Amino acid sequence: MLKPKTKALITDIVLIDIINFSLLTSSEQLEIVVFLTKSFKKMIEKMLFNSSTPLSKFIIGFVSTGDGFYCILNPRLKGFGAILGLSFSHFSEHIARKFPYFNGIRIAVHTGEVNEFTDILGSKNFIGDGLNDCARYLEVKNFTITTVMISDLAFASLKKFLVLHKDFNTLLAKHGLQKSSTYTFKDKHENEKHGCLIWLRKSGIINPPNINYNSII
pLDDT tens column, 149-193: 999 999 999 999 999 999 999 999 999 999 999 999 888 888 899
pLDDT interval class at 96 (50, 70, 90):
confident
What the chain holds in terms of domains, given with CATH numbers, is 10-200 (3.30.70.1230)
Is the model more confident about 140 or about 137?
137
Residue 105 pLDDT > 70: yes
According to the model, what pLDDT value does residue 188 have? 83
According to the model, what pLDDT value does residue 5 have? 57
3-state secondary structure 108-131: EEEEEEEEEEECCCCCEEEECHHH
According to the model, what pLDDT value does residue 3 have? 55
Is the model more confident about 20 or about 189?
20
Per-position DSSP letters for the chain, written without gaps between them: -PPPSS--EEEEEEEEEETTGGGS-HHHHHHHHHHHHHHHHHHHHHHHGGGT--HHHHEEEEEE-SSEEEEEE-GGGTT-HHHHHHHHHHHHHHHHTT-TT---EEEEEEEEEEEEEE-TTS-EEEESHHHHHHHHGGG-SS--TTSEEEEHHHHHHHHHHHHH-THHHHHHHHTTEEEPPPEEEE-TTS-EEEEEEEEESS----PPPP--TTS--
- Whole-angstrom distance, CA of residue 74 vs CA of residue 43: 17
pLDDT interval class at 217 (50, 70, 90):
very low
According to the model, what pLDDT value does residue 92 have? 83
Tell me which residue of 44, 129, 49 sits closest to 91, measured CA to CA.
Answer: 44
According to the model, what pLDDT value does residue 91 have? 84
pLDDT interval class at 4 (50, 70, 90):
low
Mean pLDDT of all residues in 132-146: 83
According to the model, what pLDDT value does residue 214 have? 54
pLDDT interval class at 216 (50, 70, 90):
very low
AA letter at 104: G
- Whole-angstrom distance, CA of residue 89 vs CA of residue 94: 9
Mean pLDDT of all residues in 13-23: 94
According to the model, what pLDDT value does residue 211 have? 74
- Greatest alpha-carbon span in the chain: 53
Mean pLDDT of all residues in 126-134: 94
